Amino acid sequence: MPQTPHYHPLDKYKGKVREGMVQGLEMAFVNLSEEIRNLVNPQSLWSGLKGFKEQLSQLEEMGFNVTMVRGRLDKLQGIAKREQPSQVPTEELKSDIAMEEANISLIRSRILVLEGDIEKSKVVINNKKSKIEELKNDLVKIVEEFKSLAKSAWN
């Protein structure tokens, strides 16, 4: 893009200082144009948009014709805005996924608690079975003692 900036704000500088500033501004214009041209996705636009606009305004103050660059930036911004509504459902779905994953974790922790309860119940059942066996053995002893006494001599 051929440019013929006026550089009026630089009139107070002379010689090599002014030349260096002019060269720096010309490089800034080229670099900014290329940076905007090389944007790869809407996110890269949004992250640099404020800076792009500020730099274009500053270059425009120096007399650069930024109409084409600003036009491209505006068109890119228009396209990027169309992406934003599609991001809403994506973010909602991601949020739903996170909630479901949290729900799965909660269910797993409940399962662990229930498995612990099952183990405790098994211990109680085994203790009660042991108690039943003890009672059966005691009953056998009582019956034997009873029979023994019943059949014993009358002394």
Query: What's the mean pLDDT when you consider all of the chain?
Result: 91
In this prediction, what percent of the chain has a pLDDT beyond 70?
A: 96
Give the start-to-end residue ranges of the domains of the chain: 8-120
Phi, psi of 55 (to 5 degrees): -65, -40
Weakest-pLDDT range from 39-48, 117-126, 129-138: 39-48
Separation of alpha carbons 22 and 8, rounded Å: 11
pLDDT tens digits, residue range 28-84? 999 999 999 999 899 899 999 999 999 999 999 999 999 999 999 999 999 998 876
The enclosing H or E element of 96 equals: helix 67-151
Cα separation, 112 vs 144, in Å, equals: 48
Instruction: Let me know: does 151 contact 143? Beta carbons within 8 Å.
Output: no
Which tokens go with 68?
């084409």
Averaged pLDDT, 135-149: 94
Tokens of 44: 């890269």
Give the span between the Cα atoms of 7 and 11, in whole angstroms.
Answer: 7
pLDDT digits (tens, 9 = 90+) for 4-13: 777 888 889 8
